[in-house]
Structure 1
Amino acid sequence: MTKIYLAEDQKMLNTALATLLGLEDDLDVIGTATDGNTALSEIVLKKPDVAILDIEMPKLSGLDVAQQIDVLKLTTKVIILTTFAKASYFEQAVDAHVNGYLLKDNPTDQLVQTIREVLDGKTVFSPELVTSILSAEKNPLTKREIDVLKEIKTGKNSKEIAKAVFLSDGTVRNYISSILSKTGTSSRIEALNIAEKNKWI
């Protein structure tokens, strides 16, 4: 019997997945969590064969938990579930030596198949996810420029952005000019649309 641990911050999805996986004759869901901290503690204690982790969870993300499992050299195989086709997330997952990386909207039978494949020593990445990540243009923006864009998204003006990111108004304006130049746009909204389309933020 394969022991499964499931960590997903949406309780309804957590319960539904646990129920569906429990219907398989060879799978036993031995625990669930809705935050990464609890998940890591219980994975270390219960030593499941496979941990299925949502990326965005409170306290510790699924990627944080995966990295700790890797650092601690646990034998638990890790499958990441995500709705986010972000290159940065994918890179962190690869660095943490995860065994699987799937989209949440994939059918449950694909997740079951992935569980069996990673137990056989295979690494499984969702083709749709990889294609989406590889087709996105390389992000030319710096971390600070991304911070400024995130504040633009909330509707703040330059002075409000400066206060939020602890910079001077002039520095923020310089960042905005750089963002417009790098994205080849003439307005903040256009730049934001380009960044979101390419999953830079």
Structure 2
Amino acid sequence: MTEHGRYTGTGDTGGGHPVRVLLADDEHLIRGALAALLALEDDLLVVAEAASGPEALAMARAHRPDVAVLDLQMPGRDGVAVAAALGTELPGCRTMIVTGHGRPGHLKRALAAGVRGFVPKTVSARRLAEIIRTVHAGNRYVDPELAADAISSGDSPLTAREAELLELAADGAPIAEIAERAALAPGTVRNYLSSAAAKLAAENRHAAVRVARERGWL
């Protein structure tokens, strides 16, 4: 299948057809560069690009890619949420996350959402192409360092909603703003943040954010 590290096109890529790829990343320069580099691979075809979570979903519905390569942090909806939605709407589309913020908590969320690949943005374009093929073939690829960090961090005591609200509180936003962004009542947000702080033995939500990040749960 490989010759000097390069795919020769003799493997199974769906009856000889190129693997149809969706690229979603809100950084236009990175997305464009990846699209150009992947276009050099004979067996890969970038059929759509997106700059946000909602756009990624819309493009996936319209173009039905074989593999969706999703940035973890995108406006509107993050890559894990998009992957979970695609798993329900387009089960034939395999998903993978490319991230510059590979905390263990993100990896665990991604795997729970059915993501088949999880790699850092430092990966080379050629290696990314190989991983896309691996994911398309039905296999899983997780960056070894990210996997080791996830194992050593232990399981988070936080619920998904508590983790989400701590993320929203990370930049010091007031309760009212967090509530608006999460579409919840301020009192509900306070309850979730208080619960998260108690679980982490932190004196307030700001300390809870720090503790959760240190342990790789955000």
More helix by share: 1
Structure ID, larger Rg: 1
The residue number in structure 2 matching 1:122 is 139
Equivalent residue for 1:70, pick from 74, 78, 87: 87
| Number of equivalent positions | 190
Describe the shift of the 1:78–1:134 C-alpha distance in structure 2 as closer, same or farther (beyond 3 A): same
SS in 2 for 1:53: strand
Q: Which amino acid aligns with 1:55?
A: L
Q: Which amino acid aligns with 2:35?
A: A
The residue number in structure 1 matching 2:47 is 30
How large is the Cα RMSD of the aligned pairs? 3.5
Contact 1:153 1:192 in 2 (8 A): no
1:86-97 equivalent positions in 2, closer than 5 A: 86-97=103-114
What CA deviation, in whole Å up to 9, does each residue of 1:140-179 have, x standing for no partner? 567769957975863x9xxx77997746xxx9xx879957
- Tell me the percent identity: 29
Q: Which amino acid aligns with 1:196?
A: R
Q: Which amino acid aligns with 2:96?
A: I
Structure 1 stretch displaced more, 91-100 or 52-61:
91-100
Describe the shift of the 1:113–1:163 C-alpha distance in structure 2 as closer, same or farther (beyond 3 A): closer
Equivalent residue for 2:116, pick from 78, 85, 99: 99
* Deviation of 1:88 (Å): 3.5
SS in 2 for 1:28: strand
Contact 2:197 2:205 in 1 (8 A): no
What CA deviation, in whole Å up to 9, does each residue of 1:47-94 have, x standing for no partner? 112110111111222112211111124311211111223344323322
Alpha-carbon separation, structure 2, partners of 1:49 and 1:188:
41
Alpha-carbon separation, structure 2, partners of 1:54 and 1:122:
20
Alpha-carbon separation, structure 2, partners of 1:176 and 1:42:
36
Structure 1 unpaired stretches of 5+: none
Alpha-carbon separation, structure 2, partners of 1:55 and 1:49:
19
1:142-153 equivalent positions in 2, closer than 5 A: none
SS in 1 for 2:95: strand
Q: Give the alignment's TM-score, normalised by structure 1.
A: 0.75
Contact 1:8 1:57 in 2 (8 A): yes
Structure 2 unpaired stretches of 5+: 1-17, 180-185
The residue number in structure 2 matching 1:59 is 76
Q: Does 1:16 align with 2:33?
A: yes
Alpha-carbon separation, structure 1, partners of 2:80 and 2:68:
12
Q: Give the alignment's TM-score, normalised by structure 2.
A: 0.70
What CA deviation, in whole Å up to 9, does each residue of 1:106-142 have, x standing for no partner? 2222211111112222111111111111222444567
